[in-house]
Amino acid sequence: MRTIATVTGIYDKGSGALVVTENAAVDAATGEPLVTSRSSAFIRGEGGFGGERGSDQPWERPDREPDHRVVQSTRPEQALIYRLSGDRNPLHVDPKFAARGGFSQPILHGLCTYGVTGRALLQALCDGDRRGSGRWRDDSAVRYGR
């Protein structure tokens, strides 16, 4: 596999800069595309340089059924374990604090969500082979214990 990383945009968001990247992986022998991932990083304090603000166009769900649907349970104490990563935000453990943010209950840490999702996708799309690849998007908060 060969992967090419490209910075596709650097945008001035005022209070920070948004750096958008794309990683395209192809089969090294055939050149066949395998996976393309896009990500962005918001760098606080680096805005105000006068660049473009970037698109405000939100992502839209495709008008079709998903290619795969995966249901994965997490444990009720999962957020307590992930506090060990250093993220002690009460949004993840305090129901009253979560309610102030508009959530019906505390939500799972992004790092935990990423790990659980990655594992579920490897099982669904790659038969558990960690060398596999796939395309996915997560666009919602995860509530633990479900």
Place of tokens 């558990």: 128
**Which candidate in 87, 127, 129, 139 is catalytic?**
87
| Token output for 29 | 């022998």
| Token output for 105 | 């209950």
E strand or H helix at 125? helix 110-126
d(CA 135, CA 120) in angstroms, rounded, equals 13
Q: With contact defined as beta carbons under 8 Å apart, do 57 and 18 qualify?
A: no
Judge whether 92 counts as a catalytic residue: yes
Judge whether 87 counts as a catalytic residue: yes
d(CA 126, CA 120) in angstroms, rounded, equals 10
**Which candidate in 92, 109, 129, 138 is catalytic?**
92
Active site residues: 87, 92
